[in-house]
């Protein structure tokens, strides 16, 4: 359909007006476009200068004067090391001197307070030992047990012999003793150990008669309820004549056995009232002062015991 001319004229005017309005918009938008080529070149040149710039860091010439000035002295110098070494040596020397002084003071107190009975770090486990001062310092008095020390076994006790006389540990001072705990009705172990000690005495009589005269074997009954003096007299007839047989009240026997750490346990009784007593099988060897010198177990032969006895009785301390 054809439009009137007036309408076509109006449309033409509106088109021109719209074109005129778009011109400033384009002009404004063109202001945010990239900078001209000259500005872009200056930025690139600055970036290149930073990338390839030279620095004086680490050259020893922080001012950039062109001269290198490295220091020949570091944080640690030989004089400083020498002073440290001297200080360390002085500290070590002072520690050793102070330790020795305190040890001497402590040992002097121990020896002065208990010079006769000795000293032990744990009297319940280790026997008291006397200390002597040597050229190397304070040391325990040397004995056959060595540096480990002897176990805390034994102590004062009192029993009765076959004649009913009171006998104590003081009764055997000056004698070396072989002490054994057993009971007269023992079927096999006790008689075997008693015979073995008799053989030891016979061997010593032949090979070391002087030492044999200083040794006294002792049998202590751990069954005082049945081992009367008459029963022990009959029992003694079967063994070496040098034996001394001892018994006592149950409290006396238990007290002595406890000091020697002897295990004892009464077994169940039979229908006729008989019973056995389980006990430890050890022979305790004492020196002439009554202190424990060694312990001999069931597995040792008579010759082994003789060797140990001679070694203990002839031991000579080196200091």
Question: In terms of pLDDT, which residue wins out, 315 or 3?
Answer: 315
Q: Are 282 and 256 in contact (CB under 8 A)?
A: no
Per-residue pLDDT tens digits for 114-130: 445 565 555 556 666 66
pLDDT, position 40? 55
Q: Are 315 and 260 in contact (CB under 8 A)?
A: no
Q: What is the mean pLDDT of residues 153-162?
A: 93
Residue 300 reports pLDDT greater than 70: yes
pTM, full prediction: 0.59
pLDDT, position 58? 55
Here the tokens at position 139 are 């040391």
Q: What angle do CA 115, 117, 123 make, to 5 degrees?
A: 125
Average pLDDT, the chain: 77
Measure Cα distances from 197 to 27, 70, 137 in Å. 132, 90, 41
Per-residue pLDDT tens digits for 44-85: 555 555 555 555 555 555 555 555 555 556 677 888 888 888
Question: In terms of pLDDT, which residue wins out, 210 or 36?
Answer: 210
| Nearest Cα to Cα of residue 159 among 213, 227, 67 | 227
Question: In terms of pLDDT, which residue wins out, 184 or 132?
Answer: 184
| Nearest Cα to Cα of residue 161 among 225, 237, 243, 263 | 243
pLDDT, position 82? 85
Here the tokens at position 51 are 């990338």
Confidence of residue 298 (pLDDT cuts 50, 70, 90): very high
| Nearest Cα to Cα of residue 169 among 179, 225, 125, 228 | 179
3-state secondary structure of 140: strand
């Amino acid at each position: 359909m054809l439009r009137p001319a007036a309408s076509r004229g109006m449309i033409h005017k509106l088109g021109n007006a719209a074109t005129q309005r778009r011109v400033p918009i384009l002009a404004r938008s063109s202001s945010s476009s990239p900078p001209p080529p000259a500005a872009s070149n200056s930025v690139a040149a600055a970036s290149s200068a930073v990338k390839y710039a030279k620095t004086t860091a680490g050259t020893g010439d922080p001012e950039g004067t062109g001269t290198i000035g490295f220091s020949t002295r570091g944080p640690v110098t030989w004089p400083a090391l020498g002073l440290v070494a001297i200080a360390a040596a002085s500290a070590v020397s002072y520690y050793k001197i102070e330790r020795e002084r305190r040890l001497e003071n402590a040992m002097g107190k121990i020896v002065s307070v208990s010079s006769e009975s000795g000293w032990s770090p744990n009297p319940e486990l280790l026997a008291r030992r006397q200390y002597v001062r040597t050229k190397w310092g304070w040391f325990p008095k040397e004995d056959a047990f060595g540096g480990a020390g002897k176990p805390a076994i034994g102590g004062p006790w009192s029993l009765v012999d076959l004649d009913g006389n009171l006998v104590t540990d003081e009764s055997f001072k000056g004698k070396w003793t072989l002490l054994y705990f057993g009971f007269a009705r023992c079927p096999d172990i006790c008689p075997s150990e008693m015979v073995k000690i008799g053989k030891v005495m016979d061997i010593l009589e032949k090979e070391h008669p002087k030492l044999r005269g200083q040794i006294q074997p002792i049998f202590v009954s751990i069954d005082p309820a049945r081992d009367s003096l008459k029963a022990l007299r009959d029992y003694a007839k079967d063994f070496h004549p040098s034996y001394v047989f001892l018994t006592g009240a149950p409290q006396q026997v238990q007290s002595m056995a406890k000091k020697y750490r002897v295990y004892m346990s009464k077994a169940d009784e039979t229908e006729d009232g008989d019973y056995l007593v389980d006990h430890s099988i050890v022979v305790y060897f004492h020196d002439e002062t009554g202190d424990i010198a060694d312990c001999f177990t069931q597995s040792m032969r008579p010759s082994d015991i003789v060797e140990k006895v001679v070694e203990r009785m002839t031991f000579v301390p080196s200091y």
